[in-house]
Amino acid sequence: HVDVEESAPTAAPPEERPIGYGRLKRKEDPRFVRGKGNYVDDVLLPGMLHGAVLRSPFAHARIVSIDTSAAEAHPKVKAVITGKTLEGLGLAWMPTLSMDTQAVLATDKVRFQGQEVAFVVAEDHYAARDAVELIDIEYEPLPAVIDARRAMDADAPVIRDDKEGRTDNHIFDWEAGDPEAANAVFERADVVVRQEMLYPRVHPAPLETCGCVASMDPVEGKLTLWETCQAPHAHRTLVAMVAGIPEQKIRIVAPDIGGGFGNKVGIYPGYVCAVVGSIVTGKPVKWMEDRSENLMSTSFARDYHMTGEIAATRDGKILGIRADVLADHGAFNGTAQPTKYPAGFFHIFTGSYDIEAAHCKVTGVYTNKAPGGVAYACSFRVTEAVYLVERMVDCLANELGRDPAELRMQNLLRPEQFPYENKTGWTYDSGDYPTTLRKAMDIAGYEQLREEQRRRRAEGKPMGIGVSFFTEVVGAGARKHFDILGLGMADGCELRVHPTGKAVVRLSVQTQGQGHETTFAQIVAEELGIPPEDIQVVHGDTDQTPFGLGTYGSRSTPVSGAAAAVVARKVRDKARLIAGAMLEVSPDDLDWEKGRWFVRGDPSAGKSIQEIALAAHGTLELPEGVEGHLEATTVYNPPNLTFPYGAYICVVDVDPGTGVVKVRRFIAVDDCGTRINPMIIEGQVHGGLADGVGMALMQLIGFDEDGNCLSGSFMDYLLPTALEVPDWELGYTVTPSPHHPIGAKGIGESATVGSPPAVVNAVMDAIGVRHADMPLTPSRVWHAMHGGVGAP
């Protein structure tokens, strides 16, 4: 049953009409709302054992000795695995997504608090946890590097002394743009504003933590690995390379995923240990981390120390932007990003503005903190880039005494400049920025808000209005330029239409809550005219789906969504040939209307896609060169990325006595090109806006000076609830991507990327301070108001 919401904008002009039934209710939700989801922790296999990880209490320490005898003597323990065990198998270290190495279980030193040191396999989860406590380890504590700004000091302890010849904590230097051109515009600018800012370490914190079930079939030599995973095919190849198991003997299954947000892109030591545990015991082994393990040891996000500089003329024309960044990558460089780009896509930091020159420089360093990075709905560091430029534009507005919305309007790229080549090598595909900003200002009632602000100020009530305008870059490949560990970012897709006209589409991407089972059916439905409920979407199982690099960087719609449209068009073309044979006319004389081919000039003579599917499997004599059945495959290699954008306005009230920030209103106008399912898009935006409020006001993975993680639970790491967020006020514009088959751009991370600067800009506007770092907790805001931390 197709359930189309009343409010579906069916009367909208064609370019705004959503794809394949628009606001279709999510096909996956009945199982979720009835408690029938199938998550990794729901996987139960006969004879299954349970693993638990022993973790380091120190941020930096030498391992003197490990005594596992008491744990091994525990009656329910089946195996105790240490770094030594793994060394024997050549598995003590594994490659990271950045071509670095990471300890699976520590052998020489521990390098962050929470690092994996030993793995116990036992009959049940509780016994495994108990036995972990019985392992006796002697550590020799070492001084730790916690502040990235100290990492390159001459006397800083060398963290990665496992690497031959290493004498410091430097990882990489990387730059983009033209330094000379940037210097030239900065020299002739009337105004230069410089600001240091930190995008603090935060965590994606999905509700479902990470884990796996590893089952090695000793007879077939086949490994089945159920994993919380955003990229099953990439994981399979990696497992094959790391463990030396032939790739065809590995099956990765990502069942229902309870949120990923980037946390489930990489491979964690626990997965490798579970595989080894299964090989050693001959039984399936489940490992599921708890909340503290998730927050303390899995892929964090951000941790960028940035210095921004913006140059402008006195009348507010922005000429250039520069950035100097120190990137804290933790103890192992495990960030996920294309090989060419160690700072991800940070070089989109020129934002949405028509400028003359730009230059950025990023230095990566090791610290004694958990590895990972890039995660948390960031589009490969676009979060940091957008935060930098949108804070800098506000700093400039502050310096010039200009209204921040008006200053943005003056500098935004104009529609006729697209496709626009920016100063760091990106080609923005399409956009009409002023219309989008204008729309957000209209929804907000911007002029009235400024009026109200003046009134309230006079009464001693600080109110702030924060604006941000962001341009994202999502949808990597092309495979020539974008890869993970050498695997190019192209995605396969397979579509079969069965004899009764029902279809199955197989994807290489992996939903973690984004609704792919619905929206990908809608894409195929739009192209073939088969109703979405007749189209089954298969994903998350490498035995059943074509190769592709998975879901992150909001690439599913730009890449895999394009593949789904292309494969459906291939099926449609084949259906045309078969319809010609059925109607005994030349295929050239057929026209398509949604769901059927008909004879040009005689619409009554036609064949529906369902009739054609049956004939394709039947006894009909097929034309020369046409194979039977109705199916197709494709691999989509995008010619460019897509550049979604948006204008956000945040209204806050600040309690002058306590520094508590109340987000009163939040207006978000997004443009993700052609909209497939507006309801799902709104859900993605709602989630991302909540993330943004969380990061701006309350989230921080903090450490004390010894490297103890201070944010290991939801008591300390705060997720915003319905109480902390307003009713979101959304709008949209539609500027299709010119190169995408249906004109769609990504949306999954737009709001997380665009909203933090809007909130921070609003708070700074309220308290009249140029800059204070996130999270803007009450104490930080209070101190900033009273000339303390973060005052100009």
Q: Binding residues for ligand MCN, per CB under 6 A?
A: 206, 259-262, 377, 512-516, 519, 551-557, 561, 672-677, 680-681, 684, 687, 744-749
Q: At 336, list the tokens.
A: 């996920």
What's the CA gap between 670 and 638, in Å, rounded? 22
Residue 375 CB, shortest distance to ligand CUM, in Å, is 5
To ligand CUM, the closest distance from the beta carbon of 509 in angstroms equals: 11
Q: Of ligand MCN, ligand CUM, none, which one does residue 265 interact with (CB within 5 to 8 Å by kind)?
A: ligand CUM
> Within positions 265 to 294, which residues make up the interface with ligand CUM, using CB under 6 A?
265
Of the pair 25, 555, the CB lying nearest ligand CUM is at 555
In the complex with ligand MCN, the residue whose CB is nearer, 261 or 598, is 261
Q: HEC states along 51-82?
A: EEEEECCCCCEEEEEEECHHHHHCCCEEEEEE
Q: Which is nearer to ligand CUM, 243 or 348 (CB)?
A: 348
Closest CA to 171 of 381, 368, 362: 362
Task: Answer with the entry of ligand CUM, ligand MCN, none that 519 interacts with (C-beta below 5 to 8 A by kind).
Answer: ligand MCN
- Which of residues 472 and 653 has its CB atom nearest to ligand MCN in the complex? 472
> Residue 128: which of ligand CUM, ligand MCN, none does it interact with, CB under 5 to 8 A by kind?
none
Q: Which one, of 608, 607, 630, 602, lies nearest residue 617 by Cα? A: 630
Cα distances (Å, whole numbers) of residue 524 to 305, 520, 529: 44, 6, 8
Of residues 374, 397, 567, 744, which one binds ligand CUM by CB under 6 A? 374
> Taking CB under 6 A as the rule, which mask of x and - marks residues 250-269 in contact with ligand CUM?
----------xxx--x----
Q: In the complex with ligand MCN, which residue's Cβ is closer, 49 or 680?
A: 680
CA dihedral (382, 387, 392, 398) positive or negative: positive
- Cβ nearer to ligand CUM, comparing 379 with 634: 379
Single-letter amino acid, residue 432: D
Q: 390 or 670: whose CB is closer to ligand MCN? A: 670
Choose between 404 and 694: whose C-beta lies nearer to ligand MCN.
Answer: 694
Question: For ligand CUM, which residue of 375, 473, 549, 649 counts as binding (CB under 6 A)?
Answer: 375
SS3 346: helix
The structure tokens 């319809």 sit at 579
CA 590 to chain centre: 43
Look-up of token digits 């799902």: 680
What stretches of 264-370 show up as alpha helix (H) in DSSP? 269-281, 291-297
- Is residue 650 within 8 Å of residue 728, measured between CB atoms? no
Structure tokens at 775: 């999270």
- Interface mask (CB under 6 A) for ligand CUM, residues 314-353, using x and -? ----------------------------------------
Q: Residue 746 touches which of ligand CUM, ligand MCN, none (CB < 5 to 8 A by kind)?
A: ligand MCN
436 touches which of ligand MCN, ligand CUM, none (CB within 5 to 8 A by kind)? none
Q: Terminal CA-to-CA distance of the chain, rounded, Å? A: 59
- Residue 190, SS3 per DSSP: coil
Cα 521 from Cα 515, distance rounded (Å)? 10
435, 410 Cβ separation under 8 angstroms: no
Cβ count within 10 A of residue 715: 7
- Using CB under 6 A as the binding rule, the residues of this chain from 574 to 633 that contact ligand CUM are none
Nearest-CB residue to ligand CUM?
262
- Residues that bind ligand CUM (rule: CB under 6 A) add up to a total of 13
Which residue lies nearer to ligand CUM by CB, 201 or 496? Answer: 201
Residue of 139, 300, 376, 703 interacting with ligand CUM (CB under 6 A): 376
Nearer to ligand CUM, 553 or 580 (CB): 553
Q: How many CB atoms lie within 10 A of CB 126?
A: 12
Q: Residue 566 CB, nearest distance to ligand MCN (Å)? A: 15
Task: Name the nearest CA neighbour of 594 among 614, 609, 578.
Answer: 609
Nearest distance in Å: CB 292, ligand MCN:
20
Q: Which is nearer to ligand MCN, 562 or 652 (CB)?
A: 562
Q: Which of residues 548-567 bind ligand CUM (CB under 6 A)?
A: 552-553
Closest approach, Cβ 33 to ligand MCN, in A, equals 14
> Mask: binding to ligand CUM, 718-757, rule CB under 6 A, as x and -?
-------------------------------x--------
Residue of the chain from 77, 134, 377, 663 that contacts ligand CUM (CB under 6 A): 377
- Give 246: exposed, middle or buried? Use CB within 10 Å, 0-12, 13-18, 19+: exposed
Q: How far is the CB of 672 from ligand MCN (least distance, A)?
A: 4
- Select from ligand MCN, ligand CUM, none the partner in contact with residue 654, using the beta carbon and a kind-dependent cut-off of 5 to 8 Å: none
Strands 318-328 and 357-365: parallel
What is the full DSSP assignment across 94-131?
EE-TTS-EEESS-SSEE-STT-EEEEEEESSHHHHHHH
**Span of 310-318, 319-327, 372-380, 452-460 interacting with ligand CUM by CB under 6 A:** 372-380
DSSP codes joined into one string, 423-461: TTS-EE----HHHHHHHHHHHHTHHHHHHHHHHHHHTT-
CA 700 to chain centre: 18
Residue ranges in 49-108 that form contacts with ligand CUM under rule CB under 6 A? none
Binding at 68: pick from ligand MCN, ligand CUM, none (beta carbon under 5-8 Å per type):
none
In whole angstroms, how close is the CB of 336 to ligand CUM at the nearest point?
7
386 contributes a contact to ligand CUM by CB under 6 A: no
| CA–CA dist 784, 792 (Å, integer) | 9
In the complex, least distance from residue 752 CB atom to ligand MCN, rounded to whole angstroms: 7
Nearest to 211 by CA among 162, 157, 256, 148: 256
Q: 275, 264, 269: which is closest to 229 by C-alpha?
A: 264
Q: Is 297 helix (H, G, I), strand (E, B) or coil?
A: helix
Nearest Cα to 353, choosing from 398, 385, 314, 401? 385
**Between 49 and 742, CB nearer to ligand MCN:** 742
- Please give the single-letter amino acid code of residue 403: D
DSSP state of 25: P
Window 205-244: residues binding ligand CUM (CB under 6 A): 230
Q: Which residues of 568-590 are buried (b: 16+ CB within 10 A; e: fewer)?
A: bbbbbebbbbbbbbbbebebeeb
374 binds, among ligand MCN, ligand CUM, none (CB under 5 to 8 A by kind): ligand CUM
**Residue 557 site contact among ligand CUM, ligand MCN, none (CB < 5 to 8 Å, cut-off depends on kind):** ligand MCN
CB-nearer residue toward ligand MCN: 242 or 680: 680
**Dist CA 302 CA 702 (whole Å):** 12
Cα separation values, 590 from 32, 528, 623, 713, Å:
43, 15, 15, 63
| Interatomic CA distance for residues 676 and 658, integer angstroms | 44
Q: How far is the CB of 304 from ligand CUM (least distance, A)?
A: 13
Nearer to ligand CUM, 379 or 430 (CB): 379
Q: How far is the CB of 638 from ligand MCN (least distance, A)?
A: 12
Smallest separation (angstroms) from ligand MCN to the CB of 652:
25
Binding partner at 747 among ligand MCN, ligand CUM, none, C-beta below 5 to 8 Å by kind = ligand MCN
Instruction: Give residues in contact with ligand CUM (CB under 6 A).
Output: 230, 260-262, 265, 374-378, 552-553, 749
